[in-house]
């Protein structure tokens, strides 16, 4: 029997930020059932896989995706070395703060920004750029670090599931390489359990050192239809729990729900008061 | 101190199939040093990542890659439903047992065989096909199941590292979806720790059920230059130990060796007597 692990040592509420109600009860029932040997819904430890979307589920996604804020900051930071950007679209939209022009440029426009700023470098250099930004950049409305704009109830849920031997993955439309550098520190999720969008990388020897160079070619858009693709590629087996907040999570939730046995599927709606 | 975990409870040799000598000593020293707190080479548990090549390292790769034997068997099995294959290259090379013709068709030829037999189906159906084959097909020379043509010293090494809280990955030029269905049973390595070559998959709703369809588009060739790409994509951090046997493992070994701190890199040369 493993039921003694469902709550912490003092038997305290493992989800103190959650209102008592149907949702909280569904979660704790699911965890009790899947982790109690002899229960018809029992799931052995290697199959306890839980997925969390990131933007809007674990941290804020308004007024814009955090990774977009990072990209725009990167364009502004590098612009002084590239005077030609002032007359090149879509780069000039960023420098002129023309968000409507940028939106009209769509995904191809964003890929051009990416190619100009965050490609052609090693994966190591990119990780350092992410680290430096995430440690200083602040959310425009909340005026706190983005990593402080995470939802406390979800942190509790990650911890609760982990304490019950679930392997927790972040499955994000954002970049794998954007989330990995801080995922363990902020969410307690190790780098290798971050499944996200990615660019192709290319192996090279640089001054006798092997490196991976980020290319502007898309490897995977891990959103919508792409989420089950990423989940299957990285994990290879059906998850038993999934948490999302938007249309881009629909296929991930369907994919998770389609397996046999007990499943926990949750579409979360946050209010600002839940932030950490 | 965690030194009491290096050997099993009785203090027995954790690598009984290995000859006492420099190599075995290098392995046990590495494990002792990286798992003993206070040792200058100590590595915390989440960073203990070890990689194993599969073909020729964990199991036999002669007279041909096992996955090629599977593919050729699949062509032969399905041929009666496709009379046109008798006059279509490279399919007819297989049916006429013309291995020279097949070799001349190269990788594009193999991709055509793959497209004809192992694409357009769901990932679930493919996994079942693999399972059915691997449970019955026998190695032509040893006349045993392929999963019995694995190297005992390497099984011991996987177990020894796992017992010392290393997370073991298989990094194979073979297909992720070919190795995953039996990796846990044969090697004790869960599906999500198999990093291999793969085709693109496509999400679809089939009779109201979400499925992933295997397409004939290559996603990743996880061999040579592709191994560090796959390792970075799946794991995202530098491994500290890697075991391979061939040219295709060179970049994986370089990539592993390039990180700072203690590293164990081994190019293995098996003799038949080491088989399980």
Tell me if A255 and B210 make a contact (CB, 8 A cut-off): yes
Structure confidence at residue B269 as a pLDDT band (50, 70, 90): confident
Q: What is the residue-wise DSSP string for chain B? A: --GGGSS-TT---S-TTSPSSHHHHHHHHHHHHHHSTTSTT---GGG-EEEE--BTTTB---SS-HHHHHHHHHHHHHGGG-GGGGGSTTHHHHHTT-HHHHHHHHHHHHHHHHHHHSSSSBHHHHHHHHHHHHTT-B-TTT-SBGGGSBBHHHHHHHHHHHHTTPEEEEEEEEEHHHHHHHHHHHHS--GGGEEEEEEEEEEEEETTEEEEEEEEEEEE--STTHHHHHHHHHT-S--SEEEE-SGGGHHHHHHHHTSSS--EEEE----GGGB-
Q: What is the residue-wise DSSP string for A44-78? A: -GGG-EEEE--BTTTB---SS-HHHHHHHHHHHHH
Tell me if A228 and B212 make a contact (CB, 8 A cut-off): yes
pLDDT of the residue at B7: 46
Considering only CB atoms, B229 lies closest to which of A201, A205, A228, namely A201
Chain center to CA of B252 = 13
Which residue of A lies nearest to B227 if distances are taken between CA atoms? A203
Mutate which of A124, A172, A228 to test chain B, going by most B C-beta atoms within 10 A?
A: A228
Contacts of B198 (CB under 8 A, 6+ apart): A233, B175, B176, B177, B218, B219, B220, B222
Which residue of A lies nearest to B47 if distances are taken between CA atoms? A190
CB-CB contact of A232 with A209 (8 Å): no
Mean pLDDT of A106-126: 96
Tell me if B191 and A251 make a contact (CB, 8 A cut-off): no
Structure confidence at residue B1 as a pLDDT band (50, 70, 90): very low
Compute the distance between CA of residue A40 and CA of residue A232 in angstroms, rounded to an integer.
26
Considering only CB atoms, A46 lies closest to which of B190, B233, B251, namely B190
Q: What SS3 class is residue A104?
A: helix
Residue A165 pLDDT > 80, yes or no?
yes
Residue B275 pLDDT > 70, yes or no?
no
CB-CB contact of B268 with B154 (8 Å): yes
pLDDT of the residue at A71: 97
Q: Which of A122-131, A264-273, B158-167 has the lowest mean pLDDT?
A: A264-273
A3-19 b/e with 16+ CB inside 10 Å = b?
A: eeebbeeeeeebbebbe
Q: For B172-216, what is each residue's pLDDT tens digit?
A: 999 999 999 999 999 999 999 999 999 999 999 999 999 999 999
State the smallest CA–CA distance between residue B183 and chain A in angstroms.
Answer: 12
CB-CB contact of A233 with B198 (8 Å): yes
- Chain A hits for B254, CB-CB cut-off 8 Å, are 205, 210
Mutate which of B192, B194, B197 to test chain A, going by most A C-beta atoms within 10 A?
A: B192
Tell me if B203 and A228 make a contact (CB, 8 A cut-off): yes
Share of chain A above pLDDT 90, in %: 89
Compute the distance between CA of residue A26 and CA of residue A266 in angstroms, rounded to an integer.
10
Mean pLDDT of B29-55: 97
Q: For A56-110, what is each residue's pLDDT tens digit?
A: 999 999 988 999 999 999 999 999 999 999 999 999 999 999 999 999 999 999 9
Compute the distance between CA of residue A232 and CA of residue B115 in angstroms, rounded to an integer.
20
| β-sheet bridge partners, residue B167 | B49
Compute the distance between CA of residue B153 and CA of residue B59 in angstroms, rounded to an integer.
11
Structure confidence at residue A188 as a pLDDT band (50, 70, 90): very high
Structure confidence at residue B10 as a pLDDT band (50, 70, 90): very low
Select from A90, A183, A84, A168 the least CA-distant residue to A130: A183
Sheet with B194-206, edge to edge strand ranges:
B209-220, B194-206, B167-175, B49-52, B241-244, B264-267
State the smallest CA–CA distance between residue B217 and chain A in angstroms.
Answer: 13
Residue A5 pLDDT > 60, yes or no?
no
B131 in A contact zone (CB under 8 Å): no
| Beta strands, E only, A81-193 | 167-175
Residue A275 pLDDT > 70, yes or no?
no
| Residue positions counted in chain B | 276
Residue B5 pLDDT > 80, yes or no?
no
Structure confidence at residue B259 as a pLDDT band (50, 70, 90): confident
Q: For A23-51, what is each residue's pLDDT tens digit?
A: 999 999 999 999 999 999 999 999 999 99
Residue with tokens 């996604």: A61
CA atoms within 13 A of residue A62's CA, in its CB half-sphere? 8
Mean pLDDT of A154-177: 98
Tell me if A184 and B46 make a contact (CB, 8 A cut-off): yes
Q: How many CB atoms lie within 10 A of CB A216?
A: 14
Which residue of A lies nearest to B192 if distances are taken between CA atoms? A235
pLDDT of the residue at A12: 86
Q: What SS3 class is residue A34?
A: helix
Tell me if B212 and A232 make a contact (CB, 8 A cut-off): yes
State the smallest CA–CA distance between residue B234 and chain A in angstroms.
Answer: 6
Residue A2 pLDDT > 50, yes or no?
no
Tell me if B210 and A258 make a contact (CB, 8 A cut-off): yes
pLDDT of the residue at A22: 93
Mean confidence (pLDDT) of chain A: 93
pLDDT of the residue at B273: 60
- Chain B hits for A183, CB-CB cut-off 8 Å, are none
B46 in A contact zone (CB under 8 Å): yes
Q: For B142-161, what is each residue's pLDDT tens digit?
A: 999 999 999 999 999 999 99
Considering only CB atoms, B234 lies closest to which of A192, A225, A254, namely A192
Q: What SS3 class is residue A151?
A: strand
Q: For B67-101, what is each residue's pLDDT tens digit?
A: 999 999 999 999 999 999 999 999 999 999 999 99
State the smallest CA–CA distance between residue A200 and chain B in angstroms.
Answer: 8
pLDDT of the residue at A270: 80
Q: For B213-244, what is each residue's pLDDT tens digit?
A: 999 999 999 999 999 999 999 999 999 999 99
């Amino acid at each position: 029997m493993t039921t003694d692990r469902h709550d912490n040592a003092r038997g305290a509420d493992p989800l103190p930020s959650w209102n008592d109600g149907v949702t909280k009860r569904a979660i704790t029932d699911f965890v009790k059932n899947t982790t109690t040997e002899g229960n018809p819904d029992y799931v052995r430890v290697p199959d306890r896989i839980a997925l969390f979307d990131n933007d809007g589920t674990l941290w804020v996604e308004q007024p814009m995706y955090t990774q977009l804020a990072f990209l725009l900051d990167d364009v502004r930071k590098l612009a002084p070395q590239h005077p030609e950007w002032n007359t090149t679209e879509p780069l000039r939209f960023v420098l002129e703060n023309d968000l409507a022009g940028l939106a009209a440029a769509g995904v191809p426009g964003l890929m051009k920004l990416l190619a100009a700023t965050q490609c052609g470098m090693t994966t190591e250099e990119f990780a350092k750029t992410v680290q430096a930004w995430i440690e200083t950049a602040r959310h425009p409305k909340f005026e706190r670090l983005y990593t402080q704009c995470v939802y406390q109830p979800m942190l509790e849920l990650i911890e609760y599931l982990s304490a019950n031997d679930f392997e927790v993955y972040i499955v994000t439309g954002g970049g794998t390489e954007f989330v990995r550098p801080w995922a363990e520190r902020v969410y307690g999720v190790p780098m290798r359990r971050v499944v996200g969008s990615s660019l192709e990388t290319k192996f090279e020897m640089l001054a006798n050192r092997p490196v991976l160079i980020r290319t502007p070619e898309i490897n995977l858009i891990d959103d919508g239809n792409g989420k089950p693709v990423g989940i299957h590629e990285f994990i290879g087996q059906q998850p038993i729990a999934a948490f999302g907040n938007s249309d881009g999570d629909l296929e991930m939730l369907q994919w998770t729900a389609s397996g046999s046995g007990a499943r926990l599927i949750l579409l979360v709606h946050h209010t600002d008061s839940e932030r950490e």
